[in-house]
Amino acid sequence: MKNLTHKGVEDIVPYPPGKPINELEREMGIKDSIKLASNENPLGPSPMAVRAIIDNAHELHRYPDGNGYYLRSKLSQKLGVPFDQIILGNGSNELIELLTRTFLSAGEHVVQAYPTFLVYEKMVKAAGASITSVPLSNFRIDLRSIIKAVTPATKIVFINNPNNPTGSALSNKEMNEFLREIPDDIIVALDEAYIEFATDKDVANGLSLLNKHPLLFVLRTFSKLYGLAGLRIGYGFGSKILIEYMNRVRQPFNANTLAQAAATAALDDDDFVDKTLKTVRDGIDYLYRALNEMRIEYVPTQTNFFLIKIPQAGRRIYDLMLKEGVIVRSMDSFGLPDYIRINAGLSGENERFINTLKKVLEKQASI
Ligand SMILES: Cc1ncc(COP(=O)(O)O)c(C=O)c1O
């Protein structure tokens, strides 16, 4: 019998999504649980986006604008990037896939840091290409070692800045040096899903790197800052030639009507953006203070989430917290079994997380 698929797909481990709240409550027979596991916006979706969804619902008998005219125009205006250097995706996840589908052939090679966002490796393997994962150095992406891992077969390098799951970020200087050194014929995919949360002014920003490398592709999303994860809308910008090829492969209606309308409206929702950034920053400050008092180590972040080192196996604490209705992310699938990852929630959620962690750790210590 023929092989059903190729070795790359055989090797893929299914993505472990954070448990949806209703699934958890059903399984555990509990109510009022909180989820701090998927780096979502705790305030809900942008209200201006919600209004745009309602206003545009009567257009659903029509196919979406396959050119994404209004959203791309607005992004072009806001970012100062030419219209034809912007592409939309069904979440930035789709753009990761579109990039690998457009440019990678079987036998070619990709470099990424490890641990990082799990979807890059999945898509590379699905394309039949190979991947080298370069370990982080002290929780930071090691750009020197990434350059050393480049071979003549290397086609794409994925850099996630700030990096998920560590929250650490590369500086403008570091990224400039990297782009100077990396060969011109390698595509640099710079995933900035969390860039808007960075507080350090030195953190690299794809917008200022655009003309520093001939094959740069920057990915961003409406899922986090704008609270639209369930709608699936992201965008990419970068070298014109990359966007041109990706548009050949792209499904014509990949960004749906409501997603385009909502994202366009969200870009004007300054109040919501300010409120989100304040909620996240206040939340992270509170969580740092509480963990310091508990003498629990964590990895300082430039995003809306961070890693916490747990005195016992992270997976065990994850299970115990789940029973208490607090959903966090265990890090075994990222190769960090002693850690859990949480995102900043509302203040009451953050307090409940800390109180539950105390309770669970005390219970464990007394066993
Ligand atoms: C680093 C990173 N990139 C991309 C994504 C995907 O975002 P989207 O919802 O736009 O597909 C995520 C989602 O968690 C992420 O953490």
> Which CATH number is 303's domain given?
3.90.1150.10
- Most informative mutation of 15, 191, 306 for ligand 1 (most atoms within 8 A of CB): 191
| Shared-domain flag, residues 137 and 174 | yes
**Which residue, 23, 35, 54, 76, is CA-closest to 229?**
35
Is residue 36 situated within a structural domain?
A: yes
Q: Is 193 in the pocket of ligand 1 (CB under 6 A)?
A: yes
Report CA(93)–ligand 1 centroid distance (Å).
6
Cβ neighbours for 233, distance < 8 A, ≥ 6 positions apart? 88, 89, 90, 91, 221, 222, 223, 255, 259, 260, 262, 263
Contact 332, 315 (CB under 8 A): yes
pLDDT digits (tens, 9 = 90+) for 245-299: 999 999 999 999 999 999 999 999 999 999 999 999 999 999 999 999 999 999 9
Whether 10 maps to a domain, the answer reads: no
**Cα 121 to ligand 1 centroid, rounded to whole Å:** 14
Asked if residue 28 and residue 145 are part of one domain, the reply reads no
Q: What CA–CA distances, in Å, run from 164 to 38, 123, 141, 305, 327?
A: 11, 17, 11, 9, 18
**Ligand 1 within 6 A of CB of 239:** no
The verdict on 165 and 252 lying in the same domain is yes
Whole-number Å distance, alpha carbon 77 to ligand 1 midpoint, is 24
Specify if 95 maps to a domain.
Answer: yes
For the domain that residue 77 is a member of, what is the CATH number?
3.40.640.10
**Quick one: which atom of ligand 1 is closest to the CA of 223?**
9
Residues 132 and 237 in one domain: yes
Strands 305-309 and 216-221, bridge-based pairing:
unpaired
Q: From ligand 1's centre to the CA of 358, what distance in Å?
A: 30
The list of the chain residues with pLDDT below 70 reads: 16-19
Same domain, 236 and 317: no
> Would you say residue 286 lies in a domain?
yes
Whether 347 is covered by a domain: the verdict is yes
HEC assignment per residue over the chain: CCCCCCHHHHHCCCCCCCCCHHHHHHHHCCCCCEECCCCCCCCCCCHHHHHHHHHHHHHCCCCCCCCCHHHHHHHHHHHCCCHHHEEEECCHHHHHHHHHHHHCCCCCEEEEEECCCCHHHHHHHHCCCEEEEEECECCECCHHHHHHCCCCCEEEEEEECCCCCCCCCCEHHHHHHHHHHCCCCCEEEEECCCHHHCCCCCECCHHHHHHHCCCEEEEEECCCCCCCCCCCCEEEEECHHHHHHHHHHCCCCCCCHHHHHHHHHHCCCHHHHHHHHHHHHHHHHHHHHHHHHCCCCEECCCCCEEEEECCCCHHHHHHHHHHCCEECEECHHHCCCCEEEEECCCHHHHHHHHHHHHHHHHHHHCC
Q: Among 227, 249, 266, where does a domain finish?
A: 266
Is residue 211 domain-shared with residue 309, that is, in the same domain? no
Same-domain pairing of 35 and 57 = no
pTM value is: 0.96
Q: Could you say which of 266, 286, 317 is where a domain stops?
A: 266
Is 1 contained in some domain? no
266, 291, 310 — which closes off a domain? 266
Ligand 1 pocket mutation pick from 159, 192, 221 by most atoms within 8 angstroms of CB: 221
Q: How far is the CA of 361 from the centre of ligand 1 (A)?
A: 31
| 54 and 35 belong to one structural domain | no
Q: Whose CA is nearest to atom 13 of ligand 1?
A: 193
Residues 318 and 349 placed together within one structural domain of the fold: yes
Structure tokens at 35: 């989820």
Could you read off the pLDDT of 30-68 as tens digits, one per residue? 889 999 999 999 999 999 999 999 999 999 999 999 999
Residues 163 and 296 in one domain: no
221 lines ligand 1 (CB under 6 A): yes
If asked whether residues 224 and 286 sit together in one domain, one would say no
| Inside any domain, residue 4 | no
Domain count, the chain: 2
> Does one domain contain both 248 and 140?
yes
In a domain, 11, yes or no: no
Q: Which residues form the domain of 40? A: 18-44+270-365
Q: Encode pLDDT of 302-317 as tens digits.
A: 999 999 999 877 778 8
**CA-closest residue to ligand 1 atom 15:** 193
Q: What's the 19 CA to ligand 1 centre distance in angstroms?
A: 16
